[in-house]
Amino acid sequence: MATTPEGFRATYRKWVRDAKAEYALYRAPTLSNPYLPADYVDGLRQTYPPNLLSAYIEGQFVNLNSGAVYPDFDRQLNGCDTLIQPFEPIDAGVDFNVYNCTAILYVQRGDEYHAVGELTGVRDTPTLARMLVERFPDNPVTVYPDASGQGHKSVNAALSDLAILKAVSLTVRANGTNPAVRDRRPR
């Protein structure tokens, strides 16, 4: 069997965690394949984050369940003590998930944006909208949601997630589609 070792699921369990003597695991790094184009690995490096490169180039099993969005983020190195001021505009990046909506809150100071807070593990979009309004009643909040919010899939199926945010007077800035994964990482 040949596979890319993404995550710690069936392949990992069978050939690593619960390996039996009759099974053998052979890792074949991508660089050992003489038939690939010369620029193939460079293309992978321009497209994927370091944790996926370990899987795709080295054949290592990697964690795909946590830290996958911003694996290089370090709270000690990248953290700040900036506080939200009264009446200061807040920009919120929002990701919609059932039982785990998330918002990262930013304020602009000069030419820099500071991540000043986060809401995680929020039950649904109506709860997230209510939390933003209640916690920041004097601050204008602009929400930059995932494009998936245009669909009718929230608690109230008659309303889209974007309509729920707009209904509580949040400003919504959304594109029709999300950028391709390769365009999300800075170069």
Q: What pLDDT digit, counting tens, does each position of 124-182 carry?
A: 999 999 999 999 999 999 999 876 544 445 554 446 888 889 999 899 998 765 555 44
State the average pLDDT over residues 76-92. 90
Residue type, 29: P
Q: How far is the C-alpha of 161 from the C-alpha of 163, rounded, in Å?
A: 5
Q: What pLDDT is recorded for position 7?
A: 72
Mean per-residue pLDDT over the chain, rounded = 81
Residue of 77 and 128 predicted with greater confidence = 128
More confident residue, 90 or 76: 90
Average pLDDT over residues 52-70: 74
Q: Which residue has the higher pLDDT, 99 or 123?
A: 123
Closest CA to 69 of 172, 161, 146: 146
Residue 79 has pLDDT above 80, yes or no: no
Determine the pLDDT at residue 181: 47
What are the tens digits of pLDDT across the range 2-29?
Answer: 777 777 788 888 888 998 988 888 888 8
Residue 116 identity: V
pTM: 0.58
Stretch 74-80: mean pLDDT: 78
Confidence at 88, pLDDT banded by 50, 70, 90: very high
Domain 81-178 has CATH 3.40.50.620: no
Per-residue confidence (pLDDT) for residue 148, from 0 to 100: 58
Residue 162 is predicted with a pLDDT of 85
pLDDT band at 97 (very low <50, low <70, confident <90, very high): confident
Q: Mapped to the 3 state alphabet, what secondary structure does 102-156 carry?
A: EEEEEEEECCEEEEEEEEEEECCHHHHHHHHHHHCCCCCEEEEECHHHHCCCCCC
Ranges of each domain in the chain = 10-58, 81-178
**Alpha-carbon distance 167 to 33, whole Å?**
55
